[in-house]
Chains A and B, each alone.
Chain A
Amino acid sequence: MTVITFIQHDGSERMVDADVGLSLMETALKHDVPGIDADCGGGAICGTCHCFVEVSGDLPAPDSQETAMLGLRPDRADNSRLACQIVVADGMPDITVRLPEFQM
């Protein structure tokens, strides 16, 4: 079972068990974790599920669409990702992500 830890901007943490096949965005919505808006529902076309990956195993690199959307964020960092593009696979190590102050 992969455990996802979401750290809010204020430092509070939530740990949830992830379902294989769900993205981190879907996992957050399923468990009512705040801080992820997901306006477009998972197509990497809105950029409102921005997160910073603090701890993880090897993840597939962002594709060109995700990279393009991340490129618009004034608060982009090296570990910036769109939570809708990270899908939990069987046997994936635990992941910790930090959420930004706001989505936009």
Chain B
Amino acid sequence: MNMPAGFATPDYRAMPLEDLDVSDPRMFQYDYWHELFARLREECPIHYQPDSPAGPFWSVTRYEDIVAIERDTETFSSEPSIAIIDPEPDMILKMFIAMDPPEHDDQRRAVHHVVAPRNLQEFESLIRERTIEVLDSLPENEPFDWVKLVSRDLTTKMLATLFDYPWEERNNLTEWSDMFTSDVRITAGEGSTREVIIEHMTVCLQRFTELWHERKGDGKEAFDLIRMLQADPNTENMVDDPLLYMGNIMLLIVGGNDTTRNSMSGGVVFLNQFPDEMAKVRQNPDLIPSMVSEIIRYQTPLPHMRRTATRDIELNGRKISKGEKVVLWFVSGNYDDKVIERPNDFWIDRPSVRNHLSFGAGIHRCMGNRLAEMQLRVLWEEALQRFETVEVVGEPKRTCNLFIRGFTELPVKVTRFQS
């Protein structure tokens, strides 16, 4: 697990419940979170932590409780933030993910068409082309970093394609996405301070504002997210409200980045851990869509979202007060054996494979879920056609972030089919 010498993993089973630290990003970096959430689901499904770098918060860990809270948007608000850290008062971006009805519904509907399946069909051939380029350029029979050469490169190229973002500047998109989600308080001090984050947001907004004005009215029939916003009467003037424009840009950049990227890496890891599943999909490539859903469950790239209680409420005997933070642990719900059969098995053709919480549930359910699935499906369709083996040849390194479950390094070797 790449743990530094002398690093002691918490003995979650032996600690008093009130001492359990659910804010520790190292649990994802060194992958020791399973026991923590297993114990919480069993003994303390609504858990209160009075002190953490992000302040006090409740943790909800059972699948059914998470769903019940997602349904009750009146009691459990998404405002002012879906992150465990409160937003800075001078930089509250307008993002529908952090809004309640009815404003949420109007804002989401306004941009939903950009990821509607009808539009995705237009993108699929482009995405396939990019995927093929990336896979064909991989070295043969020598170790390389799958995160860098495949997951990161491919997600960046896909995002740049969706935005028709200047190609030579495309790495900015991924760097911004990483930075916006890496506050020092959720990264064990390894991320960025708010000052640095705001500085980069400003640069990002400037660049996207320039692109908006360059494209507005240029008569080109190009197909990209910026032009789609301009073409729709609901969003044609979005640039005039910088906090709204930036909020939507950020949602699209972040939403389409770590999530897909880390699922692209996770799939390789899981198929290596479960060779029988690899054999199954090799024998029957029709299982790829089902496998994609299972990869997304097993990875749960966004392990939680936060809500805020709008009134005092009792849940499973615990009294949550108005204003308190309630963190929904999707990653725990996805491994809840009361709902998910044999949750620790990566099982590509499991029954009801689409019933997972990685996209959330209810009105905030991931808007880009069909795009994510399509990108992963195309990757595996092309990879399985080309590569006879995709072998993990070293210990993966994982992301130190409470909000992101991902990989920073994944040594892999591939061999191609001899044609």
List residues of chain A with CB under 8 Å of any chain B CB: 37-41, 43, 45-47, 65, 68-69, 71-74, 101-104
Contacts and interface: CB of A to CB of B under 8 A. Distances in A.
A68 B361 contact: no
Nearest to B108: A72
A43 B357 CA distance: 13
Given A68-B73, A68-B101, A71-B105, A101 B118 contact: yes
**Most B CB within 10 A of own CB, among A46, A47, A103:** A46
B362 A74 contact: no
A45 B70 contact: yes
B101 A45 contact: no
Interface in B268-320: none
A40 B117 contact: no
Contacts of B117: 101-104
A47 B367 CA distance: 11
Interface centre among A37, A38, A43, A104 (most CB of B within 10 A): A104
Nearest to B73: A68
B352 interface: yes
Nearest to A42: B355
B216 interface: no
Interface residues of B, number: 24
Contact of A72 (B112, B113, B355, B370): B112
B365 A46 contact: yes
Contacts of B359: 39, 46
Nearest to B109: A74
Given A45-B71, A74-B112, A69 B354 contact: no
Nearest to A71: B105
Nearest to B339: A41
B116 interface: yes
Secondary structure call for the A interface = loop
B314 to A, nearest CB: 21
B122 to A, nearest CB: 13
Given A69-B363, A102-B116, 8 more contacts: A38-B354, A40-B355, A40-B361, A47-B365, A69-B362, A72-B105, A73-B109, A104-B369
Contacts of A73: 109
Interface string B238-251: 00000000000000
A37 to B, nearest CB: 7
A25 B71 CA distance: 20
A38 to B, nearest CB: 7
Nearest 7 A/B pairs, CB to CB: A102-B117, A45-B361, A39-B354, A41-B355, A45-B362, A71-B105, A74-B112
Residue of B352, B362, B369 with highest tally of chain A CB at under 10 A:
B362
Contacts of A101: 117-118
25 contacts: A37-B354, A38-B354, A39-B354, A39-B369, A41-B352, A43-B67, A43-B71, A45-B71, A45-B361, A45-B362, A45-B365, A68-B362, A68-B363, A69-B362, A69-B363, A72-B108, A72-B109, A74-B109, A74-B116, A102-B116, A102-B117, A102-B370, A104-B112, A104-B117, A104-B369
Given A74-B113, A101-B118, A104-B117, A39 B362 contact: no
Contact of A65 (B71, B113, B116): B71
Given A74-B116, A104-B116, A43 B105 contact: no
Interface in B101-148: 101, 105, 108-109, 112-113, 115-118
A56 to B, nearest CB: 26
Nearest to A65: B71
Contacts of B109: 72-74
A103 to B, nearest CB: 8
Interface in B40-79: 67, 70-71, 73
A41 B350 CA distance: 14
B361 A104 contact: no
A92 to B, nearest CB: 26
Interface in B68-99: 70-71, 73
Contacts of A71: 101, 105, 363
B101 A43 contact: no
A65 B112 CA distance: 20
Contacts of A45: 67, 70-71, 361-362, 365
